């Protein structure tokens, strides 16, 4: 789960990382109120979960309350790389002498945590990383030992931070490691980590990504979810503990196992190239290796709730999940929807192979469900699902 800047800074403050006073606003009038309360020049910052806000005009100074109100009016509703600013952070302005970069993240390729630090922070950090990689220090972090004060001092010195800010920077680095560790984050990034003329270090920005797999031990994180902008189908799937991602196609996809589902997406996209409109996958849905009939029914219900879906491809290789359980799930889903007065009107192409495949096919044959077709091979089933989606478009 990605956080907005104001949420990231609230976590920073809770762990003792210095941040500037400020508050989020959702209307121009609220922005004026916050600026009035702060009583100093402010910066109005679009709250979107993407980078490049400054270059896009989403971060602007405001010398007083009236200016803050007008600036918020300009920024609210702004589209920044496909993200609409529905709120702004109104924060006290701060003159800084230097801007640095710091990030802790999970390196999946190396299977470890890493810390990155540079004395060349600010809006052009991506260019620095690309053209002067030596200016960006990157080190592995032992997950047990973590980052201590001495480690942080060495990191800051190696990155080229000025001698006079090594100590306060090291303290901030240690505290940011605590944010990363204690909050079960996969990313904690501060750009810039700024130095002031009086020797302080302040996190002027903040990006945090929390590990959803650790949600069971972080109950407070639920309050950070942005439910207003969450896709309603993804929210409904999450409520049913389904591994679902909405895509922009017209062929609904259900499979068991992430690898099989990914392959199915590719096969359907390839098959769709030969039909009008080039039908593509409408979703990723993995019902898992031990899915029950109830899980299958829930998954089918979610996919059929997507109005863009014109056909559904159920692709199952029976292992732990036996094909008869999948077939029973399809039958159960049809009955459930019919009880709600929502008759299934879109065709389903089903390919069953593996454990109890013959029994699963027999269950579906006997059920004689309207619109359900059994196809033997994955390629043929993908082609048929794409064809049906093209016809129904």
Residue 318: predicted pLDDT = 86
Q: Token digits for 160? A: 């080229």
98-107 and 185-195 strand pairing: antiparallel
Rounded alpha-carbon distances, angstroms, from residue 146 to 100, 115, 198: 21, 10, 29
CA angle 223-226-229, nearest 5°? Answer: 160
Q: Token digits for 118? A: 């540079």
Residue 392: predicted pLDDT = 74
pLDDT tens for the chain, 393 residues long, are 899 999 999 999 999 999 999 999 999 999 999 999 999 999 999 999 988 898 899 999 999 999 999 999 999 999 998 889 999 999 999 999 999 999 999 988 888 999 999 998 876 777 776 778 777 899 999 988 999 999 999 999 999 999 999 999 999 999 999 999 999 999 999 999 999 988 899 999 999 999 988 989 999 998 888 877 767 888 888 888 888 999 999 999 999 888 999 999 999 999 999 999 999 999 999 987 666 677 888 888 899 889 999 999 999 998 877 899 889 988 988 888 788 777 788 999 999 999 999 999 999 999 999 999 999 999 999 999 999 999 875
Please say whether the beta carbons of 115 and 141 come within 8 A. yes
Residue 384: predicted pLDDT = 97
Please say whether the beta carbons of 334 and 274 come within 8 A. no
230 tagged catalytic: no
User: What distance in Å separates the CA atoms of residue 301 and residue 346, rounded to the nearest whole number?
Assistant: 12
Residue 51: predicted pLDDT = 85
User: What distance in Å separates the CA atoms of residue 28 and residue 161, rounded to the nearest whole number?
Assistant: 38
User: What distance in Å separates the CA atoms of residue 329 and residue 338, rounded to the nearest whole number?
Assistant: 14
The dihedrals phi and psi of 356, each to the nearest 5 degrees, come to 60, 30
101 tagged catalytic: yes
Q: Which of these is catalytic: 4, 69, 91, 101?
A: 101
Q: How many CB atoms lie within 10 A of CB 109?
A: 5
Q: Which of these is catalytic: 5, 69, 99, 189?
A: 189
Hey, what domains does the chain have and what are their CATH numbers? Answer: 21-92 (3.30.1490.20), 98-224 (3.30.470.20), 230-392 (3.40.50.261)
Residue 289: predicted pLDDT = 66
Residue 344: predicted pLDDT = 81
Tell me the helices (H) and strands (E) count for the chain, helix number first.
12, 18
Q: Token digits for 319? A: 């292992």
């Amino acid at each position: 789960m990605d956080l907005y800047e104001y949420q990231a800074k609230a976590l920073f403050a809770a762990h003792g990382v210095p941040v500037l006073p400020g508050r989020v606003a959702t209307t121009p009038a609220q922005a004026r109120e916050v600026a009035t309360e702060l009583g100093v020049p402010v910066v109005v910052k679009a709250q979107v979960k993407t980078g490049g806000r400054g270059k896009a005009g989403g971060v602007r100074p405001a010398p007083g309350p009236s200016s803050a109100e007008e600036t918020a009016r300009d920024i609210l509703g702004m589209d920044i790389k496909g993200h609409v600013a529905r709120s702004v952070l109104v924060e006290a302005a701060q003159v800084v002498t230097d801007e640095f970069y710091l990030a802790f993240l999970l390196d999946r390729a190396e299977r470890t945590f890493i810390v990155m630090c540079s004395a060349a922070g600010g809006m052009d950090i991506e260019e620095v990383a690309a053209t002067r990689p030596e200016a960006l220090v990157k080190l592995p972090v032992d997950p047990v030992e973590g980052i201590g004060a001495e480690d942080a001092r060495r990191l800051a010195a190696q990155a080229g931070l000025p001698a006079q800010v090594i100590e306060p920077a090291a303290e901030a680095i240690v505290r940011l490691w605590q944010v990363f560790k204690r909050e079960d984050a996969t990313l904690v990034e501060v750009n810039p980590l700024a130095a002031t003329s009086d020797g302080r270090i302040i996190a002027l920005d903040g990006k945090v990504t929390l590990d959803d797999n650790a949600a069971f031990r972080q109950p407070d994180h639920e309050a950070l979810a942005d439910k207003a902008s969450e896709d309603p189908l993804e929210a409904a799937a999450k409520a049913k503990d389904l591994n679902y991602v909405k895509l922009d196609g017209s062929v609904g996809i259900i499979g068991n196992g992430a690898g099989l589902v990914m392959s199915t997406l590719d096969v359907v996209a390839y098959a769709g190239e030969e039909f009008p409109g080039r039908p593509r996958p409408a979703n990723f849905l993995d019902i898992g290796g031990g899915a029950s009939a109830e899980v299958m029914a829930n998954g089918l219900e979610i996919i059929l709730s997507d109005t863009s879906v014109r056909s559904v491809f159920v692709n199952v290789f029976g292992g732990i999940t036996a094909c008869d359980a999948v077939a029973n799930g399809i039958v159960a889903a049809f009955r459930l929807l019919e009880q709600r007065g929502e008759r299934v009107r879109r065709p389903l192409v089903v390919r069953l192979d593996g454990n109890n495949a013959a029994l699963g096919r027999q269950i579906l044959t006997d059920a004689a469900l309207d619109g359900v077709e059994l196809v033997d091979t994955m390629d043929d089933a993908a082609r048929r699902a794409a064809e049906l989606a093209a016809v129904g478009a």
